[in-house]
Amino acid sequence: MEYQIPLLILEENVLQEVPLMEVYVTPSGLDHVVSIDTFEKHWPQKETQYGPYMLADDFISTVTQLNTLFAPLVAEKEDYNLLEKMLATKVTFAVENAYRRKRLEENTPVEEQSLGAFYEKEGILLLLQKSLIELNGTVIHEFGHALHKILTPDAYYKSNDVMKEIIAIHLQRHYGVKRNYAMKPHSVAVAPLENLESTDFQKQRFEQRWELLTSLVNHNPLLFAAQENKP
Protein backbone atom coordinates (compact mmCIF):
# COMPACT_ATOMS: atom_id res chain seq x y z
CA MET A 1 0.00 0.00 0.00
CA GLU A 2 1.12 3.56 -0.70
CA TYR A 3 0.05 6.51 1.37
CA GLN A 4 0.09 10.04 -0.01
CA ILE A 5 1.18 12.87 2.26
CA PRO A 6 0.39 16.24 0.66
CA LEU A 7 1.62 19.75 1.32
CA LEU A 8 -1.08 22.37 1.82
CA ILE A 9 -0.21 25.63 0.10
CA LEU A 10 -1.93 28.89 -0.69
CA GLU A 11 -1.83 29.45 -4.44
CA GLU A 12 -3.45 32.60 -5.85
CA ASN A 13 -5.22 32.96 -2.53
CA VAL A 14 -6.78 29.49 -2.72
CA LEU A 15 -5.90 26.52 -0.49
CA GLN A 16 -4.46 23.70 -2.53
CA GLU A 17 -2.84 20.32 -1.82
CA VAL A 18 0.23 19.30 -3.80
CA PRO A 19 2.02 15.93 -3.46
CA LEU A 20 4.83 16.09 -0.89
CA MET A 21 5.74 12.49 -0.17
CA GLU A 22 4.53 8.99 -0.68
CA VAL A 23 5.12 6.45 2.06
CA TYR A 24 4.91 2.77 1.34
CA VAL A 25 5.21 -0.46 3.25
CA THR A 26 7.96 -2.85 2.13
CA PRO A 27 8.88 -6.26 3.60
CA SER A 28 11.79 -4.56 5.39
CA GLY A 29 9.86 -1.59 6.76
CA LEU A 30 8.64 1.77 5.51
CA ASP A 31 10.14 3.61 2.60
CA HIS A 32 9.30 6.90 0.92
CA VAL A 33 9.57 9.03 -2.20
CA VAL A 34 9.68 12.83 -1.98
CA SER A 35 8.20 15.00 -4.75
CA ILE A 36 11.15 16.98 -6.14
CA ASP A 37 8.78 19.23 -8.04
CA THR A 38 6.97 20.30 -4.85
CA PHE A 39 10.31 20.73 -3.06
CA GLU A 40 11.58 23.07 -5.77
CA LYS A 41 8.40 25.07 -6.21
CA HIS A 42 6.77 25.22 -2.78
CA TRP A 43 9.12 24.27 0.05
CA PRO A 44 9.46 27.18 2.57
CA GLN A 45 13.29 27.25 2.57
CA LYS A 46 13.58 30.34 4.78
CA GLU A 47 10.99 29.24 7.34
CA THR A 48 12.36 25.73 7.96
CA GLN A 49 15.72 24.42 9.18
CA TYR A 50 15.23 21.13 7.32
CA GLY A 51 14.12 19.89 3.93
CA PRO A 52 11.47 17.39 2.89
CA TYR A 53 13.99 14.50 2.85
CA MET A 54 14.84 15.01 6.53
CA LEU A 55 11.16 15.47 7.27
CA ALA A 56 10.27 12.21 5.50
CA ASP A 57 13.00 10.27 7.37
CA ASP A 58 11.88 11.74 10.67
CA PHE A 59 8.22 11.03 9.95
CA ILE A 60 8.88 7.40 9.04
CA SER A 61 11.01 6.88 12.10
CA THR A 62 8.26 8.36 14.33
CA VAL A 63 5.53 6.17 12.84
CA THR A 64 7.77 3.09 13.17
CA GLN A 65 8.57 3.89 16.82
CA LEU A 66 4.89 4.44 17.64
CA ASN A 67 4.01 1.14 15.99
CA THR A 68 6.55 -0.63 18.22
CA LEU A 69 5.42 1.21 21.36
CA PHE A 70 1.76 0.31 20.74
CA ALA A 71 2.42 -3.29 19.62
CA PRO A 72 1.57 -4.81 23.05
CA LEU A 73 -1.85 -3.09 22.91
CA VAL A 74 -2.83 -4.90 19.71
CA ALA A 75 -0.89 -8.15 20.26
CA GLU A 76 -4.04 -10.17 20.86
CA LYS A 77 -6.02 -8.82 17.93
CA GLU A 78 -6.01 -11.15 14.94
CA ASP A 79 -5.01 -9.85 11.51
CA TYR A 80 -4.62 -6.37 12.90
CA ASN A 81 -2.06 -4.20 11.18
CA LEU A 82 -1.63 -1.13 13.33
CA LEU A 83 1.05 0.35 11.10
CA GLU A 84 -1.32 0.39 8.12
CA LYS A 85 -4.12 1.80 10.25
CA MET A 86 -1.85 4.61 11.41
CA LEU A 87 -0.79 5.36 7.85
CA ALA A 88 -4.40 5.28 6.69
CA THR A 89 -4.91 8.35 8.87
CA LYS A 90 -4.43 11.15 6.40
CA VAL A 91 -1.49 13.41 7.28
CA THR A 92 -1.09 16.84 5.66
CA PHE A 93 1.81 19.21 6.20
CA ALA A 94 1.07 22.89 5.64
CA VAL A 95 3.15 25.97 4.90
CA GLU A 96 2.42 28.78 7.33
CA ASN A 97 0.11 31.02 5.29
CA ALA A 98 -1.94 27.99 4.20
CA TYR A 99 -2.11 26.66 7.76
CA ARG A 100 -3.30 30.02 9.12
CA ARG A 101 -5.90 30.34 6.37
CA LYS A 102 -7.24 26.82 6.97
CA ARG A 103 -7.59 27.40 10.71
CA LEU A 104 -9.20 30.82 10.16
CA GLU A 105 -11.71 29.23 7.80
CA GLU A 106 -12.67 26.94 10.72
CA ASN A 107 -13.15 30.04 12.85
CA THR A 108 -10.10 29.37 15.03
CA PRO A 109 -8.60 32.80 15.76
CA VAL A 110 -4.82 33.10 15.26
CA GLU A 111 -4.10 33.31 19.01
CA GLU A 112 -5.93 30.00 19.56
CA GLN A 113 -4.24 28.11 16.76
CA SER A 114 -1.97 25.33 17.96
CA LEU A 115 0.80 23.95 15.76
CA GLY A 116 -1.21 20.98 14.57
CA ALA A 117 -4.72 19.61 14.58
CA PHE A 118 -6.48 16.28 14.46
CA TYR A 119 -9.80 16.07 12.64
CA GLU A 120 -12.07 13.04 12.84
CA LYS A 121 -12.53 13.00 9.06
CA GLU A 122 -9.59 14.91 7.56
CA GLY A 123 -6.91 13.40 9.78
CA ILE A 124 -3.77 15.18 10.96
CA LEU A 125 -2.80 18.69 9.86
CA LEU A 126 0.68 19.94 10.77
CA LEU A 127 2.25 23.35 10.42
CA LEU A 128 5.80 23.17 9.04
CA GLN A 129 7.50 24.66 12.10
CA LYS A 130 11.01 26.09 11.93
CA SER A 131 12.61 23.29 13.95
CA LEU A 132 12.21 19.64 13.04
CA ILE A 133 12.49 18.63 16.71
CA GLU A 134 9.54 20.89 17.58
CA LEU A 135 7.55 19.58 14.63
CA ASN A 136 8.31 16.02 15.69
CA GLY A 137 6.76 16.69 19.12
CA THR A 138 3.61 17.90 17.38
CA VAL A 139 3.54 14.86 15.08
CA ILE A 140 3.63 12.58 18.15
CA HIS A 141 0.91 14.63 19.87
CA GLU A 142 -1.47 14.46 16.90
CA PHE A 143 -0.81 10.74 16.44
CA GLY A 144 -1.80 10.43 20.11
CA HIS A 145 -5.26 11.67 19.13
CA ALA A 146 -5.30 9.44 16.04
CA LEU A 147 -4.31 6.33 18.04
CA HIS A 148 -6.94 7.12 20.68
CA LYS A 149 -9.55 7.04 17.90
CA ILE A 150 -8.04 4.02 16.06
CA LEU A 151 -7.69 1.79 19.14
CA THR A 152 -10.73 2.81 21.20
CA PRO A 153 -13.16 4.64 18.91
CA ASP A 154 -16.12 4.43 21.31
CA ALA A 155 -14.12 5.99 24.12
CA TYR A 156 -12.66 8.56 21.74
CA TYR A 157 -16.06 9.78 20.62
CA LYS A 158 -17.38 9.90 24.20
CA SER A 159 -14.31 11.67 25.62
CA ASN A 160 -14.39 15.29 26.59
CA ASP A 161 -11.77 17.58 25.05
CA VAL A 162 -9.62 17.73 28.19
CA MET A 163 -9.43 13.92 28.40
CA LYS A 164 -8.43 13.75 24.73
CA GLU A 165 -5.63 16.23 25.40
CA ILE A 166 -4.46 14.37 28.53
CA ILE A 167 -4.04 11.25 26.39
CA ALA A 168 -2.16 13.02 23.56
CA ILE A 169 0.04 15.04 25.94
CA HIS A 170 0.85 11.91 27.93
CA LEU A 171 2.13 10.19 24.77
CA GLN A 172 4.15 13.27 23.85
CA ARG A 173 5.67 13.43 27.36
CA HIS A 174 6.52 9.74 27.13
CA TYR A 175 8.92 10.87 24.38
CA GLY A 176 10.26 13.65 26.61
CA VAL A 177 8.42 16.49 24.86
CA LYS A 178 7.23 18.96 27.51
CA ARG A 179 5.40 22.09 26.47
CA ASN A 180 3.66 24.99 28.14
CA TYR A 181 0.16 25.66 26.93
CA ALA A 182 -1.69 28.94 27.17
CA MET A 183 -4.99 27.82 25.67
CA LYS A 184 -7.78 25.46 26.69
CA PRO A 185 -8.23 22.51 26.53
CA HIS A 186 -4.46 21.83 26.47
CA SER A 187 -3.71 24.13 29.40
CA VAL A 188 -6.38 22.42 31.57
CA ALA A 189 -5.02 18.95 30.74
CA VAL A 190 -1.51 19.48 32.09
CA ALA A 191 -2.27 19.79 35.84
CA PRO A 192 -4.24 16.51 36.28
CA LEU A 193 -1.67 14.73 34.12
CA GLU A 194 1.23 16.05 36.20
CA ASN A 195 -0.60 15.02 39.38
CA LEU A 196 -1.00 11.55 37.99
CA GLU A 197 2.61 11.37 36.84
CA SER A 198 3.74 12.09 40.39
CA THR A 199 2.09 8.83 41.57
CA ASP A 200 2.80 5.12 41.00
CA PHE A 201 1.04 5.52 37.67
CA GLN A 202 4.34 6.62 36.17
CA LYS A 203 6.01 3.34 37.19
CA GLN A 204 3.61 1.28 35.09
CA ARG A 205 4.47 0.11 31.62
CA PHE A 206 3.37 2.40 28.80
CA GLU A 207 0.58 0.10 27.64
CA GLN A 208 -0.91 -0.03 31.15
CA ARG A 209 -0.83 3.75 31.40
CA TRP A 210 -2.43 4.11 27.97
CA GLU A 211 -5.17 1.59 28.83
CA LEU A 212 -5.95 3.37 32.07
CA LEU A 213 -6.17 6.78 30.42
CA THR A 214 -8.23 5.57 27.46
CA SER A 215 -10.67 3.81 29.80
CA LEU A 216 -11.71 7.30 30.95
CA VAL A 217 -13.88 9.66 28.94
CA ASN A 218 -13.83 12.47 31.44
CA HIS A 219 -10.90 13.81 33.48
CA ASN A 220 -12.76 14.37 36.78
CA PRO A 221 -11.96 10.95 38.35
CA LEU A 222 -8.33 11.63 37.56
CA LEU A 223 -8.31 14.72 39.73
CA PHE A 224 -9.48 12.71 42.75
CA ALA A 225 -7.37 9.60 42.00
CA ALA A 226 -4.24 11.71 41.82
CA GLN A 227 -5.01 13.28 45.21
CA GLU A 228 -5.58 9.91 46.93
CA ASN A 229 -2.50 8.20 45.50
CA LYS A 230 -0.05 10.93 46.37
CA PRO A 231 2.87 9.48 48.34
* Binding site residues, Zn ion, CB under 5 A: 165, 168
As a whole number of angstroms, the distance between CA 209 and CA 202 comes to 8
Nearer to Zn ion, 143 or 201 (CB): 143
Nearer to Zn ion, 34 or 167 (CB): 167
Count of other CB atoms within 10 angstroms of residue 27: 4
Residue with smallest beta-carbon separation from Zn ion = 168
Least distance in Å: CB of 214 to Zn ion?
14
* Ramachandran sector of residue 107 (left: φ over 0; alpha: ψ -120 to 50; beta: rest): left
Least distance in Å: CB of 97 to Zn ion?
23
Nearer to Zn ion, 6 or 144 (CB): 144
Least distance in Å: CB of 81 to Zn ion?
25
Least distance in Å: CB of 67 to Zn ion?
20
Nearer to Zn ion, 124 or 165 (CB): 165
Contact of 113 with 100, CB cutoff 8 Å:
yes
Contact of 23 with 3, CB cutoff 8 Å:
yes
User: Alpha-carbon Rg of the chain, whole angstroms?
Assistant: 18
